Amino acid sequence: MSTFDSIHRLWASFTDLAMSRHCPSCGRRMALDEEPLCAQCMLRLPWENNYDWIYNPRMVAAADHPCLQRVGALMRYNHGNVAAKVVQSLKFNRTVTLASWMGRLAVSRLQSTSLFDGIEALVPTPLSSRRQRLRGFNQALILAQAMGEELRVPVCTDIVRKIKEVEPQTHLTTSQRLENLKGAYALTSHADSLRDKHIMLIDDVITTGSTFTSVISELEKVQGLRVSVFAWAWVT
């Protein structure tokens, strides 16, 4: 095969690869300079522009947890919007590239706000070991890892575990969710290493806030621990 043929074949496979890239939000084929979403979806990202982390409704709802410092999100999640599609794609396609973009985007957009001030470690919301085995990965963990690299803070995965499988929560009210999650999380023997620290619990989505409230009910047993919460998107 001539050098020209080799270059031609290489170029053809390169363009094939490029052409097979689809936008994880709308499914449209993306051009080479579009990454990780197509240009149209990038323009339709539903940014959360309210940076008043302390007085948002989720903070107020969780007011009986004095260790809770701030709760924030990057995007507004509504059924079928671009944020929802990105989160679904992360969960089901296991795209580490997408998670890494999501993490970098969150840090670059929110670093000038007070959300990450004083955070000493990131803690991904745990999945039960059965769920993690079935899914193959924890999307909160890969998001936390991407954010940890940008923020230069460690990611702690051995602090709290999900020890109980719970019923699907989609159709439950907030109080039913809290009841459903009772006893679902437990601290590990390493949790005490976080004494007097300020950590950030990381998740992909906050729906009602019952998951983070349940995890915090465990974390607040660690003396002097302060907890902030970040989700890439929250339901508005």
Any contact of residue 25 with Zn ion (CB under 5 A)?
A: yes
Q: Which two tokens stand for residue 228?
A: 């902030």
In the complex, least distance from residue 109 CB atom to Zn ion, rounded to whole angstroms: 19
Using the contact rule CB under 5 A, the part of the chain among 36-44, 51-59, 158-166, 174-182 near Zn ion is 36-44
Q: How far is it, in rounded angstroms, from Cα 54 to Cα 125? A: 21
- For Zn ion, the closer of residues 21 and 91 by Cβ is 21
Minimum gap (Å) between residue 154 Cβ and Zn ion:
34
Q: Considering only 25-33, 105-113, 140-148, 200-208, which stretch makes contact with Zn ion by CB under 5 A?
A: 25-33
Choose which of 21, 26, 61, 94 interacts with Zn ion (CB under 5 A). Answer: 26
Burial of residue 43 (number of CB atoms within 10 Å: 0-12, 13-18, 19+):
exposed
Instruction: Please identify, among the stretches 2-10, 33-41, 68-76, 182-190, the one whose residues bind Zn ion according to the rule CB under 5 A.
Output: 33-41
Judged by CB under 5 A, which stretch of 22-30, 66-74, 115-123, 129-137 contacts Zn ion? Answer: 22-30
Closest approach of Cβ 95 to Zn ion, in Å? Answer: 14
The least CB distance from residue 64 to Zn ion, in Å, is: 41
Q: Does 98 bind Zn ion (CB under 5 A)?
A: no
Spatial distance between the Cα atoms of 159 and 122, rounded to a whole number of angstroms: 10
Query: Rounded to 10 degrees, what is the CA torsion of 53, 58, 64, 69?
Result: -20
* β-pairing verdict for 160-162 and 185-187: antiparallel
Provide the CA 163 distance to its chain's centre, in angstroms.
20
Taken in order 105, 37, 141, 61, is the CA torsion positive or negative? positive
Least distance (Å) from Zn ion to the CB of residue 180?
Answer: 35
Cβ neighbours of residue 135 closer than 8 Å, sequence gap 6 or more = 91, 127
Taking the C-alpha atoms of residue 34 and residue 164, their distance in angstroms, rounded to an integer, is 41
Q: Kindly state whether residue 89 participates in binding Zn ion, applying the rule CB under 5 A.
A: no
Task: Choose the stretch contacting Zn ion; rule: CB under 5 A; options: 5-13, 38-46, 163-171, 225-233.
Answer: 38-46
Helix (H) or strand (E) run with residue 19 in it: helix 3-19
Binding status of residue 23 toward Zn ion by CB under 5 A: yes
* Minimum separation from the CB atom of position 21 to Zn ion (A): 11
Q: How far is the CB of 185 from Zn ion (least distance, A)?
A: 36
Question: Which of 15, 19, 38, 87 touches Zn ion by CB under 5 A?
Answer: 38
Q: Which of 219, 37, 234 is nearest to 124 (CA)?
A: 219
Binding site for Zn ion (CB under 5 A): 23, 25-26, 38, 41
